[in-house]
Amino acid sequence: EPEVTQTPSHQVTQMGQEVILRCVPISNHLYFYWYRQILGQKVEFLVSFYNNEISEKSEIFDDQFSVERPDGSNFTLKIRSTKLEDSAMYFCASTTGAEKLFFGSGTQLSVL
């Protein structure tokens, strides 16, 4: 089965630093998402991306966050100035637009 690939699997950073989380969605998919899950809490929607623009974003996705699809295959999430509370597992997901959402295995972000 095709996979969504995320790198790195674990990222450790200092508070205030910029991080970029990378994702390679499945090649024929059109809709891309970032979700996050703080340890012990629910999976939370951050942002959806379609046709090279953000289609929906949550309250969590403030000015510190941005997404890009720089080259037609990668889909990145940038956090400009990380805070302690950004520590979480970040999941990328993609879909053709049909019902099934394919998730990557996640990037565990630890902000120290």
Residues making contact with other proteins (CB under 8 A): 31, 33, 35, 41-45, 48, 50, 55-56, 89, 91, 99-101, 103-106, 108
CB of 33 to other proteins, least distance (A): 7
Indicate the residue among 25 and 104 with the shorter CB distance to other proteins.
Answer: 104
**What is the closest distance, in whole angstroms, from the C-beta atom of residue 93 to other proteins in the complex?**
8
Q: Which is nearer to other proteins, 42 or 71 (CB)?
A: 42
Q: Do residues 32 and 54 touch, judged by C-beta distance below 8 A?
A: no
28: left (phi over 0), alpha (psi -120 to 50) or beta: alpha
Question: Considering beta carbons, is residue 7 or 81 the nearer one to other proteins?
Answer: 7
CB of 71 to other proteins, least distance (A): 23
Beta-carbon contacts of 38 under 8 Å, excluding residues fewer than 6 positions away, are 44, 85, 87, 88, 89
- Of 8, 17, 1, 33, nearest to 86 by C-alpha is 17
